[in-house]
Amino acid sequence: MKKVMVILNPDSGSGKSVKMEDLLSKKLKKHFEIIDFRISKDIDDVINFASIAAETNYDSIVVSGGDGTINSVVQGIYDKEHRPKIAIIPSGTGNLLSKHLGIPQIRREAINRYDFEHSKKIDIGLCNDKCFCLFVSMGSIPEAIHDASGEDKSKFGMLTYFKESIERLRKDKYYRLKIETDDGNYEGEVDHFLVSISNKIGYVEFTRQNSSMDSGYANVLILKKKDIFSRLSGAGSAIAGELDKNSNVEHFLASKLHVESLEGEEETDIDGDKGPSLPIDIQILKQRVEFYLPASYF
């Protein structure tokens, strides 16, 4: 008897996730005998619900929420012997993972596109003990994401991030880091630092290397200390998909990293949310979690 747990996050995006219950019920009855709806009040609820689904052998989890909610589901199942497949109903601000996986951003369309037959195992990362599905970063752009108010995110979505990021790029802030990987090391001043399981963030491709999300490796990109013109040059390279070829950028492919600050306490970003402060250890877990995809992905 096939079982699915549906985890709804009413706080993601515009707060309309719970209104999808009727549409989801109609869709899921065609594929599952048992449908278990859970409404989360906070991140701990999401992790706990996902953990229960794994430990009680649910076949699948359908989760409505943003990237932070998806990471919480992964946090609840990544170390379990049985890991349910996950279907994403995008309901956050950025929805970067669902965009990368080709999932429609209109929730009704996303629900209708699933046939629960097509899926893909992808890598996930551990930053200290916290899961991520896309990236760990440091720099003015992730700081802008953190500082954007919840109200602005709800009203203006990604436009809020762009506005905040441009303001941050006008200011000079650099980090002195020691970065050790299983492919190469770097020590010195850093403008931006990115560890990305994918080769793009949202629809922006910054390199053509390591695009599959299932290789067991992440792109490590280090934008070294430069002036505003070099930063804009780097942005142009990212748009062209060749940031790794920019002379101001160090690039590695790595499965394990250790990062520490050479001066002061610095915090990280995990998929758009605040991550742990340095020092951090990152490990890429190959093909650890399986996501349902629309047939159009293949």
Residues catalogued as catalytic: 273
Tell how far CA 90 is from the center of its chain. 12
Give me the numbers of helices (H) and strands (E) for the chain, helices first please. Answer: 9, 17
All residues at 6 or more sequence positions from 125 whose CB lies less than 8 Å from its CB, including other chains: 131, 132, 133, 136, 195, 197, 218, 282, 283, 284, 285
Does residue 86 sit in helix, strand or coil? Answer: strand
| Phi, psi for 184 (deg, rounded to 5) | 180, 165
Distance CA 87, CA 137 (A): 26
Distance CA 45, CA 35 (A): 18
> What is the rounded radius of gyration, in angstroms, for the C-alpha atoms of the chain?
19
Closest CA to 226 of 236, 218, 234, 216: 234
